[in-house]
Amino acid sequence: MKVLMLIAHGSRKQAANDEVSRLAEQISKLEDSEYGAVVPAFLEFAEPDIHQGVERCVELGADTIVAMPYFLAAGRHVAEDIPKEIECARAGNPQVNIEISQYLGESQAMAGLVVQCSHNTGQADEAVKH
Amino acid sequence: MKVLMLIAHGSRKQAANDEVSRLAEQISKLEDSEYGAVVPAFLEFAEPDIHQGVERCVELGADTIVAMPYFLAAGRHVAEDIPKEIECARAGNPQVNIEISQYLGESQAMAGLVVQCSHNTGQADEAVKH
């Protein structure tokens, strides 16, 4: 089974981590997805961390894990920290194929998504008014 | 003219800020976009800041500015800081209509984009190997 591990930075605010978990759940419900499961993982401030995330994927029956950095920019976390953690996870789980995908901000479809998002105006202002 | 202002967090790493500027440029080249221009702006660590970004939009001839928070989670920056800065910009530019859109992570299309991104594997591993 192929499992997607969605790796987010993680936040001290639980609500932000919950957004990532909800997104993982949404992805797992996509009908055209080839993933048998989607597991969230966090680099900092929240659990599961990457090590625990990989363990969870393996428990679910993963033979391939695609680790997807849910990051907008290729800072140190994307360029160094995640690859190092994944190297470590590979060493500990030689029976599993673990791949790292493109990070989110690298997506060629991002420009279109931003424009689409920008069409939803109005509600965002409510927070400051009330 | 309608101008899109892409508001990113901003980073101490210039390369990360450059990614945002490049994205703004990409969006400005989309043929089906209704925006006459796309201006990047940064909350911290980089310029133009939101105030300067709005000034730039006005110089370009904006009568409507759509401020789009390029953020994955609705933390303090999205919920408080950006709306406050925009309120301030509205007060200083009463002739311009300034709207705040959905933030990126709120997009209904995000789940699909993540799956699409996850299909591009391989290259991301090179950084750690070489």
A2-105 under CATH 3.40.50.2000, yes or no:
no
Q: What is the mean pLDDT of residues B6-22?
A: 94
Cβ–Cβ of B113/A110 closer than 8 Å? Answer: yes
Give domain B2-129's CATH architecture: 3-Layer(aba) Sandwich (3.40)
This model of the complex carries an ipTM of 0.91
Beta-bridge mates of residue A6: A40, A68
Burial class (CB in 10 A: 0-12, 13-18, 19+), A46: buried
Distance between CA atoms of residues B129 and A130, nearest Å: 52
Does A21 touch chain B if contact means CB atoms closer than 8 Å?
no
**Residue A38's closest chain B neighbor by CA?**
B115
Indicate the DSSP class of residue A121. B
- Comparing CB atoms, the residue among A20, A100, A127 nearest residue B79 is A127
CA distance B18 to B23: 8
Are B116 and A110 inside 8 Å of each other by CB? no
Residue B94 C-beta-side C-alpha neighbours within 13 Å? 1
Q: Where are the domains of chain B?
A: 2-129
Q: Does B65 touch chain A (CB under 8 A)?
A: no
* Percent share of chain B, pLDDT over 90: 86
Residue in chain A lying closest to B6 (CA): A114
Please confirm whether the linkage preceding A48 is cis (ω < 30° from 0): yes
- Is residue B99 a contact partner of residue A122, using CB atoms and an 8 Å limit? yes
- The torsion angles phi and psi of A82, rounded to 5 degrees, stand at -65, -50
pLDDT (tens digit per residue) in B44-78: 999 999 999 999 999 999 999 999 999 999 888 99
Beta-carbon pairs below 8 A across chains A and B: 170
Instruction: List per-block mean pLDDT (blocks of 10 residues) for chain A, which spans 130 residues.
Output: 97 92 96 93 96 97 98 91 97 97 95 95 55
